[in-house]
Amino acid sequence: MGIFNRGLSKTRQSFMGQLGQIISGTTDIDEDTWEDVEAILIQSDLGVETTQKIMQDLRDRVEIEGIKRTEKLQKALKQSLRTLIKDPPPVNLSGRRLSVILIVGVNGSGKTTSIAKLAHHFSEQGRRVVLAAGDTFRAAAIEQLQKWGERVNVPVIAGQPGGDPAAVVYDATAAASARNRDLLMIDTAGRLHTNYNLMEELAKIRAVTAKAVTDAPHEVWLVLDGTTGQNALQQAKKFKEAVEVTGVIVTKLDGTAKGGMVFAVFQELGLPVQFIGLGEGMDDLVEFRADKFVDSLFED
């Protein structure tokens, strides 16, 4: 069983468990069937807008293909879901001496651990990674990143607790050049999307990287906690307004049945999901793949 299958088992069990009840009887599709399918999609945290879109696509599909019986619905639904998501574009990391990835998100969403996993991932690809401890706010945040740095064998540039994160980031860009590193990833403090001052601080961090490295940051990834489902979408809209987010990392999908929110990220935010978190281990952050994702919701 692949990691997608394993990591998405909770969403699959919930989703397929309910869908199975609808499609197992070989009855004709009627209004009750449509209502049941809609309820399942909402419960899987696809959100109202995305659910409506899928329902329309599914009804069209059923009509065009002349599907009459509920047992044929599964395949059609799978196809409808697949149309909403796609593989992310290649990460924008080549063709320059130093690439910079800025990681943002609300408190506890999984930023620091995702950075560690990404450091591991990119190091394995031969990148020379360095991390900046831009969370100077939360006690022990610097230490947390340093511990991860040791585990994945990547240097961490840090300042003093309570210091200016923009200064740490500036130092990190200089250190990256001095140490001949080609990928800098910046950890930031968790912040509520409603906190104006903290969102301004992110803009300042952005500006510092832009000043130090041409066109930086080259990627800005928003980390969303998958267990918070639709709530994460509201946060995301605010982050998207405040900093130019280029992609999303959805974490903790292994611990939730709300995996449907991934569809809403594509549909309602118009942002690609670059990576998904399917566990706490170093190898449990994987590149998002649309086919595998949809397959994992259905297969058993």
Residues at the site binding ligand GTP, with contacts judged by CB under 6 A: 105, 107-113, 135, 138, 141, 190, 251-252, 254-255, 277-280, 284
Two tokens, residue 204? 């300042």
User: Minimal distance in Å, beta carbon 191 to ligand GTP?
Assistant: 8
- State how far the Cα of 82 lies from the Cα of 66, in Å rounded to an integer: 20
Rule CB under 5 A: is residue 251 a binding residue for Mg ion? Answer: no
The closest residue (CB) to Mg ion is 112
Check if the beta carbon of residue 239 is closer than 8 Å to that of residue 222: yes
Q: Binding residue for Mg ion (CB under 5 A) from 70, 80, 99, 112?
A: 112
107 interface partner picked from Mg ion, ligand GTP, none, CB below 5 to 8 A per type:
ligand GTP
Amino acid at 235: Q
Rule CB under 5 A: is residue 9 a binding residue for Mg ion? Answer: no
User: Minimal distance in Å, beta carbon 186 to Mg ion?
Assistant: 12
280 interface partner picked from ligand GTP, Mg ion, none, CB below 5 to 8 A per type:
ligand GTP
Minimum CB distance to ligand GTP smaller for 14 or for 51: 14
Which of 165, 237, 156 shows the shortest CA–CA distance to 200? 165
Which of 115, 45, 96 shows the shortest CA–CA distance to 263? 45
120 interface partner picked from Mg ion, ligand GTP, none, CB below 5 to 8 A per type:
none
Amino acid at 153: N
Which of 185, 71, 210 shows the shortest CA–CA distance to 129? 185
DSSP state of 229: T
Minimum CB distance to ligand GTP smaller for 80 or for 136: 136
Check if the beta carbon of residue 132 is closer than 8 Å to that of residue 184: yes
Residues that bind Mg ion (CB under 5 A): 111-112
